[in-house]
Amino acid sequence: MKQSQPLTAAGKSSRTFRRIAWIIFLLAVVTMLSFFWRSQASSPSPARNVLLITIDTCRADYLSCYGYPLKTTPNIDKIAAQGIRFENVLSPIPLTLPAHSSIMTGTIPPRHKVHDNLEYVLGTNNTTLAETLKEHGYKTVAITSAFVLDSKFGLAQGFDDYEDQFDEAGNDGERVNERIAEEVNRHAMDWLDNHGTDRFFMFLHYYDPHFTYTPPEPFASRFKKVPYDQQDALHFPPGFLAEATAGYAGEIAYVDHCIGLIVEKLKQLGLFESTLIVITADHGEMLGAHGELGHGYFIYQEAIKVPLIIKAPSLTKPEIIRSNAGLIDIFPTICSLQNIAVPAQVQGTALLDHRDRNAMEKKPRTLYCESLLPTKYTANPLLGIVRGKYKYIQTTRPELYDLSLDPKELDDLSVTEHHRARILQSDLAEIIEQSVVAKETRTVSMDTETIKRLQSLGYVSGEVSEDFSFDTTKPDPKNLIGYHDRTMGMIHLKDQGKYEDAKVICHELIAENPGIHQIYGILADIEMELKNYRQAMASLEKATELDPKDVQAYRNMAHISKIRGEEGLATTYYRKALEIEPKNFDTLYATAVLYHKQNKLEQAISFIERALAEQPGHLKARGLLVACLSQQNRSRDVVEQCESILRNNPDYIYALNYLAEIKATSDDAALKDPDGAVKLATKACNLTQHKTPELLDTLAMAYAAAGRYPEALASANKALQLAKEQDKTELTATIDARINIYKTKSPSSEPR
């Protein structure tokens, strides 16, 4: 048997090397497996569907799951008990359109460029949550409940269906500006019935807690005695705040009830367990705190602290997270839970990403907030930053608060902790500098109807200033809160038709501060409603003196001039408006209408074409173009325009009628088509239930062209009767003359 030989030094070295290599290999395997396990733990299986619910104007502390002493939100409480509830969530701005823009883009207002509910539209250079989810195979639907989120303001980007047209009509059939939660539910449930088998992203917006607070029963009676801050009540008439807070709590309870019905619908369809549900609000409501009743002006916690509750199939353990978070975190959090890459533009953080949560808890979040609304009153803006427990507000007299000790922000520390205030001021400036990138701000044409509809929702007209620098000589917004509240009250009176009362407040506001141009514009609106056109014109002249770029004032001056019969002056005012906004559709169209009325057809056509370049599908503008071309006897152009309109709008009566008339009466053999004329004219008359004399007259001409004179007589006689009933003297004479012609060519004066 061979004896083993002792190891040499080289052999020992080789075996040691192999052992070290083997240990390194095992460590590498363990590291890779550990990384894999961690990545699996932090990348749970995505939910099949995503449901995002925003409750407009809902402050967190009015939800019972956030500590409200009365049971306002039993259905939301159940969701919170199954998911994650975030205790300290901040909105970057207390206004509906900008805050929803932040939710949908994951960016703050200086980045997405929407700073107010008026004048702004979310630009297409932003990537939205809906666009991102749609790219990953989700069918996307939004059901909104207030005009402020109309698709014209840009939030529809990425949605396959964007339901912003409301079922109910207001007085005299005018468009309403908001709808109740039950109508939102009706549309949502219909959509789920039809598309529940699809993988979907649904966005539901409930507007009910917005002022005025008028919950339906039993919610109106259930919260008649709710707690409120007696100190805040001192700013308002006796009993006012008690009534307001009761209504506000009732509205939230009503929305909670409707959300409960949506949850039940998901359960009935077998979708609840597989759906990621996010419930939040765009902003809160001051309810008298710091002297503000509503929202939009101040950026104190009552206006910007909102609820955020997330329930997902992958989140099996209920949890309460107390570290700061923001609405801008919703976009990346949904993406993280759904294993979708977050777009580079997003400034928020994935709140439930386990790899980031430890870092978040160790390093306090820095969150931005703003209100530029005070700049409408020539005051400085309010720009804020929250880091950990501290909140700094930059304005004429800066403010600093310790939110952990002073949640109502009553004890300003900016003087006693001056050094901390300076640090936060510097950080705020850095956030703004990094966020204000070189992108064009997009604005929307604010026609008279749009402005009135937004004002009826409680929004102050006029542009905000985007100048983030500070002029210490400008008023401090805190000094003008009373002025703002009275302005809001005056707008509310005006919307209720209490014009004389509203006018009294307008004059008081002007006497107090004669340099606020939009107050003169509102006063002019009131005088126009009262048909006091001379006084209205004087107010508008003052508005344009203070702000030479007030387009709406020039449009109103043109409107008054038209009423007075001063059409040349009206044209001048429209042209002034177009010098400021040369592509404003409403001004271009109004100018075209004015030129058409003056029979200046070439000028009218020029302005119509410019208007249609902005809104190619606008039917009234296309109809006006057809009328101008017809008056110029350009029959071939009329036919081309009418056929183009009818391809997309087959029931457009105006085009049907013009095309029928040409096919019935044209001397051009290529255009003449009596049988086609009869079909077109018959369709137009059917659509109007044979109650429009002009259309019946065209039908009579079509029958006559086809040689069907008895039918022509019957239609003409009906047209004649209606024209007389409607006091259309000129039309009556024209139809009467045609009847005599039809009689001479008919074998009988009676229809067959």
Is residue 557 left, alpha or beta, with left meaning phi > 0 and alpha meaning psi from -120 to 50?
alpha
CATH for the stretch 653-752 = 1.25.40.10
Which pLDDT belongs to residue 737?
93
- Tokens representing 685 are 């008359």
Which pLDDT belongs to residue 443?
58
Which pLDDT belongs to residue 10?
47
Distance between CA atoms of residues 482 and 704, nearest Å: 71
AA letter at 481? I
Which pLDDT belongs to residue 750?
44
* Chain centre distance of CA 515: 30
**Every domain range in the chain assigned CATH 3.40.720.10:** 49-364
Is residue 479 left, alpha or beta, with left meaning phi > 0 and alpha meaning psi from -120 to 50?
alpha
What is the gyration radius of the CA atoms in the chain, in angstroms? Answer: 33
**Every domain range in the chain assigned CATH 1.25.40.10:** 653-752
Partner residues linked to 386 by β-bridges:
367, 391
CB 184 within 8 A of CB 203: no
Which pLDDT belongs to residue 444?
58
Which pLDDT belongs to residue 44?
63
Nearest to 628 by CA among 646, 651, 615, 611: 611
CB 639 within 8 A of CB 662: yes
8-state DSSP, 495: H
Partner residues linked to 310 by β-bridges:
84, 278
Classify the C-alpha dihedral 338-341-343-346 as positive or negative.
Answer: positive
User: In sequence order, what are the residues at sequence separation of 6 or more whose Cβ sits closer than 8 angstroms to the Cβ of residue 173?
Assistant: none
Which pLDDT belongs to residue 473?
87
- What are the b/e assignments for 319-340, b being 16+ CB within 10 Å? eebebbbbbbbbbbbbbbbbeb
- What are the b/e assignments for 205-220, b being 16+ CB within 10 Å? bbbbbbbebebeeebb
CB atoms within 10 A of CB 309: 24
CATH superfamily of the domain spanning 49-364 = Alkaline Phosphatase, subunit A (3.40.720.10)
Which pLDDT belongs to residue 235?
73
* Chain centre distance of CA 374: 21
CB atoms within 10 A of CB 177: 20
Pick out the chain residues at pLDDT < 50: 1-10, 12, 29-30, 33, 35-42, 170-173, 749-752
Which pLDDT belongs to residue 173?
44
Distance between CA atoms of residues 585 and 582, nearest Å: 9
8-state DSSP, 296: S
